[in-house]
Structure 1
Amino acid sequence: MKKPFLTLLLLLQPCCGMAQKKVPFFSIPDTTVNSHVWLLTGTTAALYGASLAALNTAWYKGYPRTGFHFFNDIGEWKQMDKAGHIFSAYFIGKYSREMWRWSGLPRKKQIWIGGLSGFAYQSVVEVLDGYSSEWGFSWSDMGANAIGSALLISQELAWNEQRIQLKFSAHPQHYDDPVLQEKADQLFGTTFWERTLKNYNGQTYWLSVNPYSFNKNSRFPKWLNIAVGYGAQGMVGGRDNTWTDSHGIDHDYNQLRRVRQFYLSPDIDFTRIPTRKKGIRVLFQVLNMVKFPAPTLEISSKGRVVLHPVYF
């Protein structure tokens, strides 16, 4: 925990003592504003601390703690959990980077501070996993966190924009078999938000590419993206669909085939829709984390090809 904050303070050191000029509170300054820097630092620390405390209560509740240990989970959940780690590190870093524009710090410092914040936050979560009997510290999770942060930072450094964005979509899953549904409820929760965040069977992670940004002389609409998605279904366990319930009864649902799903679909980059209203621009930034529902071509690992009129 100490190293990320120490690094942050060292990065901020050169800004101290600089002459300050008054700027409108909500404007993006062109020089460092120390009051903005310290306000962002305090706000970020408070948000991260509060969210980690909430996560520690909600996610690890009911699981006993143990000594720090490692866990190799690279083969679980068709790597959907790794896609989640990549997306989370990217998402946290992306909006942190947008916040740090307000600091007026030099561009590269904004990028590194904002971009690495996702990796730092996810690393703390991974350490918490290391003390849980249900999970453990996973090097593959750390690698996924690094990929998410690297995708953000590299694009900001190279292009000063996100031409390739990570997005998320999810839909509810329900099983007609009561035993299977009971197991799903135990694994993924029963509320809307629990199932959205935990049920890998209903999640899709997208790479959304903006063609216009790569060729600005083209007639391709500025706001239109092409998205490639990845998902999986048929999973009620990390590696297989067998388990023993609380009554000692063994269940074998391996007839439920575990499949990978690949998607191709148009998408919208809301941040490229012109608007002068700051509130709308903020809303567009938030909406951009979600894949826009659209016609979608699905190809699964069992050879199934489906054209969905609308997929989310």
Structure 2
Amino acid sequence: MSPPVTAPAGRKKTLSHPKKANNMPRQPRTFKAFIVLCAIALSSPFTTPATQNAQAQQNRAVQNQMQNDPDTGSKKGWWSGLPREKKMLYTTTASAAAIAVWGLATWDYGSSSGFHTAHEGAFEENAKYGGADKMGHYFATYAISDMLTGLYKSYGYDTRKANNYGVLSAWAVQAFMEIGDATSESQGFSWEDTMMNTLGALTSILMARYPALDDKIDLRVEYIANVRIGGIFDDYSNQFYSIVLKLDGFDFIKNNFLKYLELSAGYYTRGYDTDEVKKRRSVFAGVSFNLSRFFYQKHYNKTGKVLEYLQLPYTVLKGSRDLD
């Protein structure tokens, strides 16, 4: 996978009380971030093995044209004429600025008199969201790192540098959000979130360094509108996070039908963000059809790329086991 979600991850913070003193509700943000990520993904120049050669040929043609016509550079638009370093800087800065504006408007940034921290726990039964919010941070940072990798490759960086800078930008934007949270009484800085953001960034590096591993494994989120919470963006009780083993990544599998088979394992919680008394943490195993492979073969490369991160609702046959 080379490019997302999600804009940065969202979540609610665990404080000693469910709402701040002025009754402002906490804002879960993970899935909202991922929807934005997918929107960016559909318009981003993700590359696949099938398109990299064509892109390289196009870049060489443009370079030759600029060498033969010195006036070409002056005819380009403001953005396309910028050096790649400035494009990367502006991309990261704009992302952080968007977080600052949104945080001031909706997450009561600036309301805390000091550096406010939130001790949330991680995947324990008594953690605020049973770990679903932590999975959101991990996944969003990973997916955003990949998305920025693809974007920075389009700016002219080679694959390794694009991934290094993409990961750094994604982690920095997430860290900026945590610092903003530290100024909010209803949010608070979370070391647990920071740790999961870091693991997500490292996963992007791992996948970029080992393409054979990337060919075999996807990390995905699935959203199903099964529990009415308050809106598609405002819950964890409709989300599944999974690691997917794609059989088409194994050369020894020759059967074309088996190459469309996927095996998955994942984690989800229910009831932590509702009024339900019973709260559940669950793991699952599943089988699914490789839709990403299908769309790649039909040359819908952007759709195929997005489906490496987004599992369409109800497309996995699951067997679950409760942990509580």
In the superposition, the TM-score normalised over structure 2's length comes to: 0.64
* Amino acid across the alignment from 2:306: V
Q: Does 1:124 align with 2:176?
A: yes
Which residue of structure 1 lines up, in the alignment, with residue 55 of structure 2? 28
Match of 1:227 among 260, 264, 267: 264
Q: Does 1:291 align with 2:291?
A: no
Alignment partners' CA distance in 2, 1:174 and 1:158: 38
**1:260 Cα deviation after fit:** 0.8
Counterparts in 2 of 1:35 and 1:295: CA distance versus 1, 3 Å: same
Cα distance, 1:60 vs. partner?
A: 0.2
**In 2 relative to 1, CA 143–62 (structure 1 residues): closer, same or farther, beyond 3 Å?**
closer
Aligned partners of 2:101, 2:243: CA distance in 1, in Å?
29
1:262 aligns with 2:283: yes
Q: 2:217 aligns with which of 125, 140, 164?
A: 164
Distance apart, 1:234 and its partner CA: 2.2
Q: Quick check: 1:206 aligned with 2:218?
A: no
- Structure 1 position 52 matched with structure 2 position 87: no
Q: Deviations over 1:79-106 (max 9, x none)?
A: 1111010011011011111222223323
* Offset from partner CA, 1:85-132 (integer Å, 9 cap, x none): 001101101111122222332322112112233222211111111111
Q: 2: distance between equivalents of 1:60 and 1:49?
A: 15
**CA positional deviation for 1:143:** 0.7
For 1:170 and 1:128, locate their aligned partners in 2 and report how far apart those are by CA, in whole Å: 27
Would the aligned equivalents of 1:82 and 1:141 in 2 still touch at CA under 8 Å? yes
> Deviation at 1:224?
3.2
Partner secondary structure for residue 29 of structure 1:
helix
The amino acid that maps onto 2:252 is N
CA RMSD of aligned residues (A): 3.2
Task: Return the offset for 1:162.
Answer: 5.2
Structure 1 residue 156, shift from structure 2 partner: 0.9
Residue 230 of structure 1 and its aligned partner are, at CA, apart by 0.7
- Could you say if the C-alpha distance between residues 271 and 294 of structure 1 is closer, same or farther in structure 2, counting changes exceeding 3 Å? closer
1 CA distance for matches of 2:107 and 2:119?
19
CA contact (8 A) 2:128 2:272 kept: no
| Cα drift, residue 64 of structure 1 | 3.2
Higher relative contact order (CA 8 A, sep 6+): 2
Contact 1:156 1:162 in 2 (8 A): no
Structure 2 CA distance, aligned partners of 1:173 and 1:54? 32
Partner of 1:306: none
Look up the SS of the partner of 1:96 in the other structure: helix
Q: Deviations over 1:144-176 (max 9, x none)?
A: 00111111111211226453222111233557x
User: How many angstroms does 1:43 deviate by?
Assistant: 5.7
Q: How does 1:12-161 map to 2 (within 5 A)?
A: 28-29=55-56, 35=82, 37-38=84-85, 40-41=87-88, 44-45=91-92, 47-49=94-96, 51-53=98-100, 55-57=102-104, 59-61=106-108, 64-74=111-121, 75-159=127-211, 161=214
Letter in 2 for 1:230: Y
CA distance in 2, matches of 1:268, 1:40: 38
Aligned length: 241
- TM-score under structure 1 normalisation? 0.66
Structure 2 stretches lacking a partner, 5+ long: 1-52, 64-80, 122-126
The answer as to whether partners of 1:167 and 1:208 remain within 8 angstroms in 2 is yes
Q: Please give the alpha-carbon distance, in whole angstroms, between the structure 2 residues aligned to 1:226 and 1:61.
A: 42
Moved more, 156-165 or 73-82: 156-165
Report the CA distance shift for 1:55/1:78 in structure 2 as closer, same or farther (over 3 A).
Answer: same
CA distance in structure 1 between the aligned counterparts of 2:191 and 2:120, rounded to whole angstroms = 9
- How far apart, in 1, do the equivalents of 2:215 and 2:167 lie? 12
- Over the matched positions of the two proteins, sequence identity in percent amounts to 19
For 1:71 and 1:159, locate their aligned partners in 2 and report how far apart those are by CA, in whole Å: 37
Contact 1:77 1:235 in 2 (8 A): yes
- CA distance in structure 1 between the partners assigned to 2:157 and 2:179 by the alignment: 30
